[in-house]
Structure 1
């Protein structure tokens, strides 16, 4: 009799536990569904505010959506949208913070390339000129180089290459600015090194011709004639018709006269003679 009573009690206990577990599961599912709905609502509100132009409220709503249901695939998208909202109204520091956090929190998310691009643009938009702090320039270049290296076949890669070309122009301008300063102060070695950097690292920029010419000049002044001729040869091979090459040629040939200019002078003389000749018959 006692054993039967124990069996009955055990059955009642198991039934009660199973019933509670089932209720807990249902409650958990209900809560999860409710959180997902709240997240969806917050995301929609954020998108609405973004369209309306209130980017601060939009970013707040996107952040709220991410926090409400971080396990959702939409959490990462919400993080990017918060950054984008800040970016659209020039809150670059906030955009950078959100994007860097996104890259750490969601390292394998499918939209990483877009985050790198937006991060690069956030740094890029803060570039003033070559005389200011280089941090934004270098940080921007790093992001665009990441895109070209890791995502070469994406739509962002071509734009990243274009941006790097522009950044290299700025970096080359920075080197030239410092090099010219040293040149003016007759500090030949520091100037030489700066001009070499332009030729070596930024040889697709508009400053390459002048940098090569300056290397011809400085090496000649230092008595390094072979080095000077080497740079003159490079300049002549790539930019033979440029004024910088003509200036370099004058370094070695003081009697050099520009053939085109001489021809123009000769034409002017001929025109003058013709006019005087015509005057004899008037």
Structure 2
């Protein structure tokens, strides 16, 4: 009888231990598999959301992916994609914040050149109107210049050069806006300094010709004829066919009239005939 009781107790204890140990083994196994799967699933959800036009949700999921495996290659990729998601929804401040964090946290990532370019573009997109603050313009220009110097053989460098040209046009337009304001207020020295800034710092922009002409005008009206003639000569030498040179020329030649050569009907028909023959 005692033997049967002992055997029953052994059976019950064994069963209890087995019952307790089996769930623990399964739970441990599930945790080990889920971490990897959760990362891939979260990243795919983020990517799907971005492709479906929900960048706000995508950015949150990308940041979640980064946190799951901070030491893996998924982390910098997810951080960059989160910043990009903010960028496409026009949240440029958030994009800049996460891009700067990405560049500081993952300086050796293989995608770092794109990170710098996206950062420059985020600053560039904050540029609005010619009366606004110059800070975003200057920050964007500095970032694009960094890309040109650091990654000269990339497509990013080519695009950065084009963006710098556009930025210079905008910055020159701001200087021109202020210079014209000073002219209206008859603050001649301040106006002269602004026009000279355009000539010296933004010589490739469309505002250079007008700036030189305005200097010709101001010096002429102030009675500084030698200085006025100096800028008129400079304008004629570099932009002889410009409308602004013609305007400057008129200051010193009051009887100047622009000659317009008109063709009579016979001559006009002859030119049209010659032109048509080229395509026959």
Taking structure 2 as the reference length, the TM-score comes to 0.77
Q: How does 1:10-49 map to 2 (within 5 A)?
A: 35-49=35-49
Measure, in 1, the Cα distance between the counterparts of 2:36 and 2:227: 70
Change (3 A) 1:137 1:52: same
Which has the larger displacement, 194-203 or 120-129? 120-129
Query: Which runs of at least 4 in structure 1 moved beyond 4 Å after TM superposition?
Result: 30-37
Q: 1:105 to 1:32 in 2, by over 3 A?
A: farther
SS at match of 2:90: coil
**Number of paired residues?**
235
Taking a change above 3 Å as real, the CA distance of residues 144 and 44 of structure 1, as seen in their structure-2 partners, is same
- State the alpha-carbon separation in 2 of the partners of residues 230 and 158 from structure 1: 37
Query: What secondary structure, in the 3-state scheme, does the structure 2 residue paired with 1:107 have?
Result: coil
Q: Which residue in the other structure is 1:20 paired with?
A: none
Residues 1:66 and 2:34 are matched in the alignment: no
Per-residue deviation, 1:167: 1.1
Asked if 1:182 is matched to 2:185, the reply is no
2:170 maps to 1:170: yes
The residue that corresponds to 2:79 in the other structure is: 79
**1:32 Cα deviation after fit:** 8.3
> Once the 2 structures are TM-superposed, how far is the Cα of residue 102 of structure 1 from its aligned partner?
0.9
Q: CA deviation at 1:106?
A: 1.5
Q: Which residue of 1 aligns with 2:54?
A: 54
Q: Is the 8 A contact 2:56 2:89 kept in 1?
A: no
Which string of whole-angstrom CA distances, capped at 9 and with x for unpartnered residues, describes residues 162-194 of structure 1? 111111111111000000011111111000000
**How high is the TM-score relative to the length of structure 1?**
0.77
What does the per-residue CA deviation read over 1:58-95, in whole Å, with 9 as the maximum and x for residues that have no partner? 11111111111111122111111001111122222221
Does the CA contact (< 8 Å) of 2:42 and 2:61 recur in 1?
Answer: yes
Change (3 A) 1:31 1:231: farther
Higher deviation after alignment, 247-256 or 145-154 = 247-256
Give the deviation of 1:206 after TM superposition: 1.1
RMSD: 2.2
For 1:142 and 1:32, locate their aligned partners in 2 and report how far apart those are by CA, in whole Å: 47
The residue aligned with 2:135 is 135
- Structure 1, residues 128-177: CA drift from partner, whole Å, max 9, x if none? 21111222222222221111121111011111111111111111110000
Q: Which runs of 5+ in 2 are unaligned?
A: 1-29, 265-280
